[in-house]
Structure 1
Amino acid sequence: MTTKRIDPPRGAGERESLRSYLDFHRATLAMKTDGLSDEELRRQSMPPSTLSLLGLVRHMAEVERTWFRRVINGEDIPLVWSSKGNYQEAYDATGATRAEAFGAWQEEVVHARRIEQAAESLDVTGYQPRWGEDVSLRLVMLHLIHEYARHNGHADLLREGIDGTVGA
C-alpha cells in the first residue's frame, strides 16, 4: 500500500488551509507505516518506551473521535479502546493488527471530515469537558494539526528504528 500525500495549497483561504494541512498530516502518518507488517507496526523500537507505530495510529483514532465526534458533534460515545476513558490504552498495541487499527482510524477520519464539512463555519463550538469550556472548530482543527505533527515526529523515529527509512 502506497499512501499519496498532496501538498497543501499555498494561497487558499483559512478553512481550506486547515483542512489541507490536517489531511497532509493524516497522510504523513499513513506513509510512515507503508509496507510494514503487523509485527513491525507493533515493534517498540525505542526502549524503554512502549510506543509503536500501531499504537500511534490507534491513539490518533481516539483523538479524531474525541475532538470531532465527542466535542464538536456532542456525541455521547465511549473511546474506541477504553470503556474507562483512559486515552493511554490506545497506545497498547499488543495483539493489535493493521486492519483493526487502520479500520478504526479511517472510520474516525471519515466522521471528522463529515462533521467539519457540515459545520457552517469555523466558529461552530463544542464543549471540551477536560478544559471545562467551549472550543471552536477552528481550535479543534489547529489542535489536530499540532497533534499529528508531534506524533509524526515520533513516527519518523519509530520507522527509522524498524527499517532505517527516513524522511517525508
Structure 2
Amino acid sequence: MERVDKPKTADEHTSLDAFLDWYRATVCLKVAGMPDASARRALVPSSLTTCAGIVRHLTWVERKWFRQVLQGETLRPPRPPDDQDFIVTERDSLPDLLRDYEVECENSRKVSAAWNLDDVARDPEHRESCRWVLLHMIEETARHVGHLDLLREVLDGVVGY
C-alpha cells in the first residue's frame, strides 16, 4: 500500500478518506520487512498486543465499521469476542495478514465512495453517520500506528515516520 500525501485543499469526504488512507499505508510501512516471529512477539505479558495482532485487529475493525455497520452485512465468520482478534498463531504470516488488511481496506474505500457523509448506517444497532465512521477509523488506525511505532522500535530498533 503506497502512502500518498494528504491533500491540503479538498472537500471534506476526500480529506477524510485521504487521512484514513495515509494511516492505513503507515500501518503497512511500520511492519514492512519484519520477520514473522518478531511480528508475533508480545512485549507486554498482560497484553495481546503484537505487531501482527494489530494488523489482524485493524482488518476486523475495517470489516466491522464499513461492511457490517454501514452496509448492514452479516459477517461470516463474525468478529471474535473480547479482543480475540488480536491473537495470532504460528500459522499467521505477516504477509498474509497484510494482504488481508489491504483487501479489507480496498473494500472499505469502495463503501466510503458510495456513501454521503451524512448517510446513516444500515445496521439497526448503529446509528452512526458515514462521517462518524470515517472519523472513528482515523482515530482507531492512528492510535494503533502509535502502538506499532513503539513496538517496532523496541523489537528491532527500526524507527520512522
In structure 2, C-alpha distance between the alignment counterparts of 1:133 and 1:74, rounded to whole Å: 9
Q: Which of 144, 148, 152 is 1:155 aligned to? A: 148
Contact 2:71–2:122 under 8 Å retained in 1:
no
Counterpart residue identity of residue 137, structure 1: C
Aligned residues of 2:71 and 2:123 also touching (Cα < 8 A): no
Does structure 1 residue 7 correspond to structure 2 residue 5?
yes
- Give the corresponding residue for 1:138: 131
- Post-superposition offset of 1:141: 0.3
> Share of identical aligned residues, percent?
38
Q: CA deviation at 1:57?
A: 0.3
Q: How far 1:50 moved relative to its partner?
A: 3.1
List runs of 5+ in structure 1 lacking aligned partners: none
Deviation at 1:45, TM superposition (A): 2.6
Distance 1:147 1:100 in 2: 22
CA distance in 1 between partners of 2:2 and 2:45 (Å) = 31
Matched residue count = 160
Q: 1:101 aligns with which of 97, 104, 109?
A: 97
Structure 1 Cα separation of the partners of residues 76 and 20 of structure 2: 24
1:5-154 alignment, distance < 5 Å:
5-79=3-77, 82=79, 85-86=80-81, 88-95=83-90, 96-119=92-115, 121-127=116-122, 132-154=125-147
| Alpha-carbon RMSD | 1.8
With structure 1 as the length reference, what TM-score do the two structures score? 0.87
Q: Distance in 1 between matches of 2:18 and 2:51?
A: 23
Q: TM-score w.r.t. structure 2 length?
A: 0.91
Superposed CA offset, 1:39-85 (max 9, x none): 111111334433111000000000000000000001011356x4xx4
| 1:102-155: CA deviation from partner (whole Å, max 9, x where unpaired) | 222122111101111112x111111556xx441100000000000011111110
User: 1 CA distance for matches of 2:84 and 2:45?
Assistant: 18
Structure holding more strand per residue? 1
Amino acid at match of 2:150: L
4+ aligned runs moved over 3 Å, structure 1 = none
| Residue in 1 that maps onto 2:158 | 165
Any stretches of 5+ residues in structure 2 without a counterpart? none
- The alignment partner of 1:125 has SS state of coil
